[in-house]
Amino acid sequence: MSGSMPMDLLAKHARPVLPGAAIGIFGGGQLGRMMGIAARSMGYKVHVLDPDPACPAGYIADFVIEAGWNDRWAAANLARDCAAVTLEIEQVSTVSLDEAARWAPVRPGAAMMAVIQDRIEQKDWLAKHGFPVGPYRVAHSTEQLASAVQELAGPVITKSATGGYDGRGQAKLGFGSSAVDGAALRKAWEDVGSAACVVELALQLEKEISVMVARAPNGELKVYPPAENFHENQILSWSVIPAGVPETLVTEAQQIARDIADTFALEGLLAVEMFITTDGTLLVNELAPRPHNSYHGSERACVTSQFEQAIRCACDLPLGDVALVQPTAIANLLGDVWLQDDGTVREPAFDQALTIEGVRLTLYEKLKPRRGRKMGHLSAVGSTAAEARDRVLQAKAKL
């Protein structure tokens, strides 16, 4: 499969994709599932490519292709039968994205994904374009890791350049009283896969926030209210929209997200994860070119959910209003909620959680709970962000 794109396919790329057409999604996890549900509610057919034939999106899709992220032939087969293609996971190879783009518009595209898939490329790109990032170094060996720790002169977090998610592929050095000796360096190097990594200086943080930005192929752009996030063991525990930060920081964070999207010429969604340090400095942590866990609450918080917005972007439709309707919080439900200390599975007390006013339950139809695996989430609304957060955490405690 090579050569230039036929003229009829060029025309296909240049016009909006209207309901009734099929949309392809690389990835059938919970994000693909919720995008697919939004697409179906708008009248689209949904085709999914995922290595797991029993993926969560498979239950709501019209068609599922079982294939890996590097399978360019399967990628072409997905796109050939679709009018537009999008994604829910960063691991799809640029070869597959390029192959799919020969048959249908792929949003976001391979050029942007090549930068974001590699944390080294991503950090360097952000720094090169003048976006605020914390001090970092790059290491390709234990010797370079040792030098990076010495140069940064403080506790550090190492992150594998590729792969890794929810704390996987990461290691900490120099925290507390732990010495950064040869054994600690070797262990950290093993934890990041004994491969290239980013070494970041640990910062004194006040809060973690994220900003979702949507940009259509025609250049229309919408920026959501920031979400405030709380992590446990490097996995998002709860998130609330809007974030409780000063309006000056809201404006600054939204402008940074807008500028990153425009610089990339984004076609799709981009979640910009940010740190707010104790001295009020705003720094970009990482980028996610897809729907984001911290914006699951957008279904209830905003006029247009991130999932519907993703479909609008992929189809080059007018973007939806992102104004805040009501404060909303979400709490992740990991497999730990199902698992007992002896490893047996117990169904959570969902009926008790739903006694809390304003609470809803969303499950992803993942059949086997595992510790750390995202199985679903609770959401709650309130008159204030704090009330929404308190309600969702109270509901989770009842499980």
* CATH value at residue 12: 3.40.50.20
58-62, 266-270, 340-344, 376-380: least confident range: 340-344
Whether 222 and 195 map to the same domain: the answer is no
13-17, 25-29, 44-48, 317-321 — which is least confidently predicted? 13-17
What would the two tokens of residue 311 be? 């479909």
The CA dihedral of 255, 38, 244, 273, to the nearest 10 degrees, is -50
- Residue at a domain's end among 201, 222, 248: 201
d(C-alpha 27, C-alpha 298), whole Å: 21
Cβ count near 141 (within 10 Å): 12
How far is Cα 182 from Cα 363, in angstroms, rounded to an integer? 45
- pLDDT tens-digit map of 365-388: 998 999 999 999 999 999 999 999
Pair (158, 183) in one structural domain = yes
Is 216 found in the same domain as 329? Answer: yes
Please, what's the b/e burial string for 45-54 (b: 16 or more CB within 10 A of its CB; e: otherwise)? bbbbbbeeee
In a domain, 386, yes or no: yes
Where does the pLDDT of residue 7 fall: very low under 50, low under 70, confident under 90, or very high at 90 and above?
A: very low
Which residue in 237, 316, 234, 241 sits closest to 271, CA to CA? 241
pTM beyond 0.85, yes or no: yes
Q: Alpha carbon of 90 to those of 101, 276, 319: distances in Å?
A: 16, 25, 23
Instruction: Please provide the DSSP assignment of 203-226 as one string.
Output: --EEEEEEEEEEE-TTS-EEEPPP
Is 349 or 2 the better-scoring residue by pLDDT?
A: 349
pLDDT above 70 coverage of the chain, percent: 95
Could you tell me the two tokens for 200? 């970041």
Indicate whether 377 and 288 sit together in one domain. Answer: yes
Report CA torsion sign: 124, 125, 130, 131.
negative
For 217-273, the pLDDT digits (tens) are 999 999 999 999 999 988 999 999 999 999 999 999 999 999 999 999 999 999 999
**Domain range holding 238?**
205-397
Closest CA to 358 of 392, 324, 323: 392
Which residue's entry shows tokens 């999207």? 261
| Secondary structure class of 163 (helix, strand, coil) | coil
Residue 115 inside a domain? The answer is no
* Span 164-176, average pLDDT: 79
Q: What is the mean pLDDT of the chain?
A: 94
Residues in Cβ contact with 113 at an 8 Å cutoff, skipping those fewer than 6 apart? 87, 90, 92, 94, 97, 289
Same domain, 368 and 231: yes
Closest Cα to residue 195, out of 145, 123, 126?
Answer: 145
Residues 6+ apart with CB under 8 A from 96: 26, 69, 70, 71, 72, 74, 75
Check pLDDT > 90 for residue 279. Answer: yes
Q: Please state the domain count of the chain.
A: 3
Give, rounded to a whole angstrom, the gap between the first and last alpha carbons of the chain: 52
DSSP state of 288: E
> 174: left (phi > 0), else alpha (psi -120 to 50), else beta?
left
Asked if residue 173 and residue 229 are part of one domain, the reply reads: no
Dihedral angle at the C-alpha atoms of 161, 166, 169, 174, nearest 10 degrees?
A: 100
Cα dihedral: 110, 66, 369, 232 (round 10): -10
**Domain boundary residue, one of 144, 172, 201:** 201
278 and 241 within one domain: yes
